[in-house]
Amino acid sequence: MSMASRQDIGVIARHSNWARRDIHATLQREVYAGPTDWLRFSRYFLLGAGAAFLLSGIVFFFAYNWAALHRFVKIGIVLSLLVATGVFGLIAPVRETVRQVALTAVVALIGVLLAVLGQIYQTGANSYDYFLAWTLFAVPWVALVGFAPLWLLFAALLNATFITYSQQIGIDLTYVATSLLLLSLNVVCWTACWLSWRGRESFEWLLQLLALWVAVIATVNVSSGTFDAQPLQLGLTLGLAVLTYGGWVAIAFRQCSIYYLSVVGGSVLITLVFLLLRLSDALGIFFLAGILTLAGMTLLANRLNQLNKRWNEA
């Protein structure tokens, strides 16, 4: 038995003399959240918010430079928390979600432990080696646990490591070269995620988020780096972007998914508009850019909608 969607109910209500009381009952029965949905919502909310609040509290507890505690006590507290959470996550007879959240907490606590060590031995709060060490120690856990929020944390750590590296060590690198490396890093990250977890529904949002981040980096790089004096790096950036976009288009057609096509189309169009605006600051160029944006987006949205309909009908 197929359930009625909100759209179905709306269209039937529009072309019938359906009583409001019955519409209300149908909405409650077939559309609104039922007891099972509320229970699932409560579980995810309490577990997610509870773990996030507790971890943030622990992080800030150690960020507060509490002189009253001896350094070994500080390290001991974090280490005990880390070991206890790890043991709980690995051997306690709990639901899979609780286990995954606990093991994600372990990776967060590794960061706290390294921060406490950094605080005690004054290695610098945001130095790149802190993020590098955190990333390296996180690798085994990421390999062990297939949990999308943990992979997101790992991707954020990789980005933080590279950005702090480029600001503190690699300051001689040009803007275009730095951007090219950041783009490459995130393309590799997306590819690893896709190779490991494609087809898993729980990872779909992470793949989409990473793809959007890659597209933002590529769009900003190509739009802003056009007139810089590094044609080789710019060419490589452009080449990598084209290769990645080509791959996404192929995936979109194979999976009949409109998301990647929207990201690629939007990124290409915005890049073209910015390139046009950088060509000249003549008045006509602004009008042309506006028209190009409108016409491009209209045609793109139209083509994507048609394609989506064809896929849905097939």
Partner 1 sequence: MKPELIDRLRQRAIVPFEVDRDALLSDRLVQHDNAAELSVRVLSGIGGFFASLVFLLALWLTELINVPVISASLGIALIVVTILLGRNKREAFLASITICGYLVGVCLTMVGLPPDVSDAQLVIPVAVIAAATLAYTRNYFLVVLAVASLPACLLYLQLTLHSVTYAALAVTLTAASLVAVSFLEYRFIADRRFPAVRAGLALGMLMTLLWYRWGQWMADEPYERYGVLPISLLLYALTAFTLWRSLPPRWGVLAGIVLLPFTLLPLLLGSFLLLLVSFRSQHFAGVGLGAVGLLYFTAQYYYDLRWNLLDKSLVLMASGALLLGLYYYLQRRIPADVPA
23-82 positions binding partner 1, by CB under 8 A? 23-27, 31-39, 41-43, 46-47, 49-61, 63-64, 66
Q: Rule CB under 8 A: say whether 143 interacts with partner 1.
A: no
Question: CA–CA separation, 158 vs 190, rounded Å?
Answer: 12
| Nearer of residues 123 and 262 to partner 1, judged by Cβ | 262
| Nearer of residues 51 and 157 to partner 1, judged by Cβ | 51
| Nearer of residues 162 and 194 to partner 1, judged by Cβ | 194
Contacts of 261 (CB under 8 A, 6+ apart): 248, 249, 252, 304, 307
Q: How far is the CB of 41 from partner 1 (least distance, A)?
A: 6
Q: Rule CB under 8 A: say whether 15 interacts with partner 1.
A: yes
CB atoms within 10 A of CB 72: 10
Whether the Cβ atoms of residue 313 and residue 297 lie closer than 8 Å to each other:
no
Q: Rule CB under 8 A: say whether 265 interacts with partner 1.
A: yes
Backbone dihedral angles phi then psi of residue 238, each to the nearest 5 degrees: -60, -45
Question: CA–CA separation, 127 vs 224, rounded Å?
Answer: 28
Question: CA–CA separation, 195 vs 192, rounded Å?
Answer: 5
Size of site (CB under 8 A) for partner 1: 83
Q: Rule CB under 8 A: say whether 92 interacts with partner 1.
A: no
Token representation of residue 53: 């609040």
Contacts of 187 (CB under 8 A, 6+ apart): 214, 240, 244
| Nearer of residues 169 and 253 to partner 1, judged by Cβ | 253
Q: How far is the CB of 4 from partner 1 (least distance, A)?
A: 6
Q: Rule CB under 8 A: say whether 90 interacts with partner 1.
A: no
Question: CA–CA separation, 224 vs 218, rounded Å?
Answer: 10
| Sites for partner 1 among residues 277-306 (CB under 8 A) | 277, 283, 286-287, 289-290, 293-294, 296-298, 300-302, 304-305
Question: CA–CA separation, 25 vs 23, rounded Å?
Answer: 5
Q: Rule CB under 8 A: say whether 122 interacts with partner 1.
A: no
Give the interface segment with partner 1, choosing from 76-84, 154-162, 175-183, 254-262 (CB under 8 A).
254-262
Whether the Cβ atoms of residue 296 and residue 244 lie closer than 8 Å to each other:
no
| Nearer of residues 82 and 269 to partner 1, judged by Cβ | 269
Q: How far is the CB of 288 from partner 1 (least distance, A)?
A: 9
| Nearer of residues 47 and 173 to partner 1, judged by Cβ | 47
Q: Rule CB under 8 A: say whether 9 interacts with partner 1.
A: yes
Phi and psi based region of residue 185 (left: phi greater than 0; alpha: psi -120 to 50; beta: remaining): alpha
